[in-house]
Structure 1
Amino acid sequence: MERARAAGLVDPAPVAAVDATGLETRHMSAYFGLRRAGSGHRQRAWPKLTAVVHVASHLIVGAVPGVGPSQDSPDFIPAMRQAAKLIAFDTALADAGYDAEHNHRLCRDELGLRRTVIALNPRNTGDRSPKEAYRRALWGDFPAALYHQRWHAESAFSQHKRRLGSALTTRGENAQQQELALRVITHNLVLLPRAK
């Protein structure tokens, strides 16, 4: 991150966007995938990457490899803890898959972020105001314009897959996790020269 700071990529009040993406385990054409989807074939597990993306630069600052399909929320805490060691974020944005009071508390009370904007999951709230303080504050005044900056995470994933491909080359779970970590490093290294 020192090179990123020296290149002027890290802004004074950094915003993090947290999201997850799935990758493929084999190279297959989109057409073949669509044909196979209607064949009754069960969908297998896939490599999953949960990432904390720095909104201004699209650097991946925190990354947790895993296996999907799985719930997103459990990977929020390790990804944010990892990211907070590198950048003192001001704000964190996440979709409703990460809606939990303990995710707000981690960011605000433990890591020192000023704001957390995590969309409220209707399954957790229904039509009533949440009881927990941070979630209740969002119920009353949700900052939609700020939340919509979350698209930067999707953009970073798109850049990542365009440059490095959407399929991993390794097969075993441990090897895939190592490959995902190397891909994140490569993604960030590619972004640095553009800051000159």
Structure 2
Amino acid sequence: MTLLVDCQTHLMHAIITGRGPLPGGPDIDELVPLLGQLPEGFRIGTIVADAGFDSASNHRFVREEHGLTLIAPPTHGRPRKDGGPPRDVHRRTMHRLLKTPAGRKLSGYSQRWQAETVNSMIKRNLTDALSSKRYQSQSRELRRLAVVHNIMV
């Protein structure tokens, strides 16, 4: 389950369900469809994500298509042989920004735990296991849990 969560209110604005974890991580391919679920005119300030969403194409998409900044540690993929920062300009900026605790706080990355809290809230307040047996039913159940969570918040 991949979520787009408002860190201030803990409301879920978009959800993608799927089986996982997958080899190589599915997160890279989920950012574009996740943002595609947002209604026209919906405003977001900054996207704070874990390293699974880090890719040059995701950084470009978020900046060029939505005019936003993607804050994600540039640790996905193979590191450079010379140990230097990533070559892509956006990933290099993230490398420089997230290198220190002060940079993580300044960028807002230190608030990423708020999104993880939503997963914990669902497990603690609603359920920690799905009762559905088949994949489609499990996906529907996860989406229902998201709606119920938003009503409760």
TM-score band, normalised by shorter chain: 0.7 to 0.9
Task: Please report how far the alpha carbon of residue 151 of structure 1 lies from its aligned counterpart in structure 2 after TM superposition.
Answer: 0.2
Matched, 1:169 2:124: no
Q: CA deviation at 1:158?
A: 0.7
Match of 1:61 in 2: 13
After superposing on structure 2, the runs of 4+ consecutive aligned residues of structure 1 that deviate more than 6 Å are none
2:140 is matched with which residue? 178
1:75 is paired with a residue whose SS is helix
| Cα separation, partners in 2 of 1:102 and 1:123, compared to 1, 3 Å | closer
Residue 148 (structure 1) shift: 1.3
Q: Structure 1 unaligned segments of length 5 or more: list them.
A: 1-48, 192-196
Q: How does 1:89-100 map to 2 (within 5 A)?
A: 89-100=44-55
Aligned residues of 2:55 and 2:76 also touching (Cα < 8 A): no
Count, aligned residues? 142
Q: What is the CA-CA distance between 1:140 and the residue it aligns to?
A: 2.6
Q: Letter of the aligned partner of 2:87 in structure 1? A: K
CA distance, structure 2, for counterparts of residue 78 and residue 122 of structure 1: 20
Query: In percent, how many aligned pairs have the same letter?
Result: 30
Go from structure 1 to structure 2 and tell me whether the alpha carbon gap of 1:170 and 1:92 turns closer, same or farther (over 3 Å shift): same
Does the 8 A contact of 1:129 with 1:139 survive in 2?
yes
For the aligned residues, what is the CA RMSD?
1.7
**Change in CA separation of 1:172 and 1:122 when aligned onto 2, cut-off 3 Å:** closer
Which structure's relative contact order is higher, taking Cα pairs within 8 Å and 6+ residues apart? 1
Look up the equivalent residue of 1:83 and give its one-letter code.
Answer: L
Q: Which amino acid aligns with 1:175?
A: S
> Per the alignment, in what secondary structure is the counterpart of residue 124 of structure 1?
coil
* Number of the residue aligned with 1:42: none
- String of CA shifts for 1:98-141, please: whole Å, max 9, x gaps: 1101111221110121x221111164334222221211212233
1:61–1:83 contact (8 Å) kept in structure 2: yes
Deviation at 1:84, TM superposition (A): 6.1
- The equivalent of 1:87 in structure 2 is 42
Per the alignment, residue 75 of structure 1 pairs with: 30
2:88 to 121, 132, 135: 132
Q: Residues 90, 74 of structure 1: CA spacing in aligned structure 2 closer, same or farther, 3 A cutoff? A: same
2:10–2:115 CA contact under 8 A, matched in 1:
yes
Instruction: Please give the TM-score of this superposition, normalised by the length of structure 1.
Output: 0.67
Distance 1:175 1:86, change over 3 A: farther
Shift of 1:87: 3.1
Looking at structure 2, the residues matched to 172 and 125 of structure 1 have their Cα atoms a distance apart, in angstroms, of: 39
Taking the TM superposition and a 5 Å limit, the aligned residue runs for 1:115-130 are: 115-121=69-75, 123-126=77-80, 127-130=83-86
- Is 2:14–2:38's contact at 8 Å kept on the other side of the alignment? yes
Gaps (5+ residues) in structure 2?
none
How far apart are the structure 2 equivalents of 1:163 and 1:86?
Answer: 32
**Greater share of strand residues, 1 or 2?**
1
